[in-house]
Structure 1
Amino acid sequence: MSFLERYLWKSVLTSILLTWFSLALLDRFFAFLGELGDVSPETQYGNLQAFYYILMGTPKLLYDYFPTATLIGSLLGLGNLAANSELTAMRAAGVSIRQIVMMTLKLGLVLVVLIFVLGEWVAPHTELAASSFKLRMQQKQLAVGNQGIWVKDGNRILNIAKLWSEQKMEGISIYEINPEAGRIDTITHADRAERDANGWMLYDLNRKHIQEDGVTQEVLPQVHEDNLVPEQVLSIAAVKPNQLAASELADFIRHQRDNDLNSSRFEQAFWQHFTTPLSTLVMLIIAAPFVFSFQRNAGAGQRIFIGILIGIVFFLFNRTLGSIGIVYGIPPLLSATLPLLMFLFGGLWMLKRIR
């Protein structure tokens, strides 16, 4: 890496990081104020728990904000170099606009790898931990811990190792209590359960009946249950697509397809695991034309405004097209990549017009 490239990286990366953490800090502040509305003396969810919940959700927020922070930060970093005539000096020394853009894109490739790691191995787990923590603090019927979800439903206690969605769960244990005898009568284990029109089908079931004179056991390939889990528990405890890594989403999508079930939401989330990091490169490409042409004489405030405006347009277009795709049956790959491709071609077109 040349001295010029290191200097360019330092200027752009410093601005990106400052913008990134500034956006996250501002968002977390207002999120905490909003979370105070859920604080209740009737539950264990107090101010300290609300702060912890907000803190645990920060990695996912950093992941979502990174493309916008890259755009604003690169506008500021390159814009400061342009305002100080440093980009002009680079071009006078024989460094072309294409070379400067390629230097920033090399930085972008490094950032893509880092943000992919954040989105694949950090953000999903902290997001799930944050949701589980809040549920555990607020719900008396429901508890979430390292051993899965615990639900009390009348005289039954259920443990669910993985609640994938409102149609699928894995690792189910059911403990049926005899209130008169004050002990457990039946323990049922099932490898998985899938929902159909009439209830739930439990597969690979092992049931133990505990009696005073001993324990009897039965093994069944599948058993149907009309009411396995309370409906309100399913709606709040099911794993959300943004709480899953790409590998977990791929497994779930495969299961849905094998059983002719809709998996559009999860496919959309799967492709966004790749389009979100790649949008970092697109934001760097879009920033260059504004710096080299329209923004030569613009101040930092104008560059921030343009960056925020483009970032909001990209975010809203991406989110809206994703929702429209799910409703109207647009292929998830197309709805996930179309905003990225449109902004990429727009950035390349603007770059070609620079002289």
Structure 2
Amino acid sequence: MNHLERYLWKSVLSSILLTWLSLTLLDRFFAFLAELGDVSPDTQYGNVQALYYILMGTPKLLYDYFPTATLIGSLLGLGNLAANSELTAMRAAGISIHQIVGMTLKLGLVLVVMVFVLGEWVAPHTELAASSFKLRMQQKQLAIGNQGIWIKDGNRIINISKLWSEKKMEGLAIYTINPEAGRIDTITHAARAERDATGWVLYELTRKVIQTDGVRQETLAQVHEDKLIPEQVLSIAAVKPNQLAATELADFIKHQRENELNSKRFEQAFWQHFTTPLSTLVMLIIAAPFVFSFQRNAGAGQRIFIGILIGIVFFLFNRMFGSVGIVYGIPPLLSATLPLLVFLVGGVWMLQRLR
């Protein structure tokens, strides 16, 4: 059984990886062509920079494509075994359909761990780095890095440790530069800043004024600013769910709830960190009934078509229900897991009908 299981794993895994690579390369090719439209001789963003940006965004794409690649790849891998009568031989040797599905699900558990690691520790950081790189190349006004967000606004340079939303930020440092003297005039630190109807309120503020005869420091409980940073920069730099890991999303959701702010969009993204890897198992379950139903009668092209069709339906249903859930107030956990549960029930039902 161990030799048979390894052989089954090798056949399915090789097809999944080949499909995964093919889907990714095809998407990246068209993405690069589309990105050439943003290339401008007036900025530092050229063809090489566009290619680098596309490559940096690849881990997030790999994460998003993996369930579909698993479905198509497992259809191809199991389908090839069926076409060569190897599945028939296995069943003649006393191995049931459910045992074969169980073997593929063991492989699926390994893939779930792999894709979870990719989505939790790799994709969010490379996605953030890609966005920061493109912004830095296209303009010198904004940069996002490990030390937070850096914004250049006139003669001020602003560093923000955490930009929670377009209405709240923490850990501000504002450097005011004297262009004539070529030095920093004032350094302002604030624990946090919150936006109200008239502007921004900075709390726990410390301001250091650098003079020729020394440094003068003042501490204020709060200060009101009509304008803190440009609106267009604020909207670009605000936290985006796909740039956060699950642990960071959990912290953000806690912060939003403590301040009675809407966190539905981020809760949806949080649960998708778990439903996306688990959908790999569901795709393996769905693939089996199609393979055993068609057996040798279906060609590779037909299997690919079925896999793409089901993958598109799952992707659209998942995306649509997530958006509908946010609009109509459906609990994020339900809206994130319902598409997965629907396809799981459908796959199990089709498996039960097999003999």
Answer whether TM exceeds 0.5 for this pair: yes
Aligned residue in 2 for 1:217: 217
2:34 equivalent to 1:34: yes
Letter in 2 for 1:281: L
Q: Which moved more, 1:208-217 or 1:138-147?
A: 138-147
TM-score under structure 1 normalisation? 0.96
Aligned residue in 1 for 2:200: 200
Deviations 1:319-339 (A, max 9, x none): 111111111111111111010
Aligned residue in 2 for 1:308: 308
Letter in 1 for 2:210: I
Aligned residue in 2 for 1:119: 119
Letter in 2 for 1:150: W
Aligned residue in 2 for 1:131: 131
Moved over 6 A (4+): none
Aligned residue in 2 for 1:97: 97
2:276 equivalent to 1:276: yes
Aligned residue in 2 for 1:82: 82
The CA distance in 1 between the partners of 2:102 and 2:196, in whole Å, is: 53
Q: Which moved more, 1:135-144 or 1:114-123?
A: 135-144
Q: Offset at 1:146?
A: 4.3
Report the secondary structure of 1:164's partner residue. strand
Report the secondary structure of 1:187's partner residue. strand
Report the secondary structure of 1:262's partner residue. coil
- Contact 2:143/2:151, CA 8 A, preserved across alignment: yes
Deviations 1:263-294 (A, max 9, x none): 11111110100000000000000001001113
Letter in 2 for 1:280: T
- Contact 2:249/2:267, CA 8 A, preserved across alignment: yes
Aligned residue in 1 for 2:57: 57
List gaps (5 residues or longer) in structure 1.
none
Report the secondary structure of 1:185's partner residue. strand
Equivalent runs, 1:7-46 vs 2, <5 Å: 7-46=7-46
- Contact 2:129/2:144, CA 8 A, preserved across alignment: no
Q: Offset at 1:13?
A: 0.4
The CA distance in 2 between the partners of 1:309 and 1:245, in whole Å, is: 30
The CA distance in 2 between the partners of 1:205 and 1:103, in whole Å, is: 61
Aligned residue in 2 for 1:257: 257
- Contact 2:209/2:215, CA 8 A, preserved across alignment: yes
Deviations 1:157-183 (A, max 9, x none): 212233333233232111123455553
- Contact 1:165/1:240, CA 8 A, preserved across alignment: no
Report the secondary structure of 1:204's partner residue. strand
List gaps (5 residues or longer) in structure 2.
none
Letter in 1 for 2:48: L
Q: Offset at 1:153?
A: 1.7
Give RMSD over aligned pairs.
1.5
TM-score under structure 2 normalisation? 0.96
- Contact 1:127/1:243, CA 8 A, preserved across alignment: yes
- Contact 1:43/1:137, CA 8 A, preserved across alignment: yes
Letter in 1 for 2:154: G
Q: Which moved more, 1:177-186 or 1:211-220?
A: 177-186
Aligned residue in 1 for 2:342: 342
Q: Offset at 1:59?
A: 0.3
Q: Offset at 1:295?
A: 4.6
2:325 equivalent to 1:320: no
The CA distance in 1 between the partners of 2:58 and 2:121, in whole Å, is: 14
Report the secondary structure of 2:165's partner residue. coil
The CA distance in 2 between the partners of 1:162 and 1:232, in whole Å, is: 18
Q: Offset at 1:206?
A: 1.8
Q: Which moved more, 1:168-177 or 1:314-323?
A: 168-177
Aligned residue in 2 for 1:352: 352
Letter in 2 for 1:107: L
Aligned residue in 1 for 2:177: 177
Deviations 1:202-222 (A, max 9, x none): 333221122233212223343
Q: Offset at 1:141?
A: 2.2
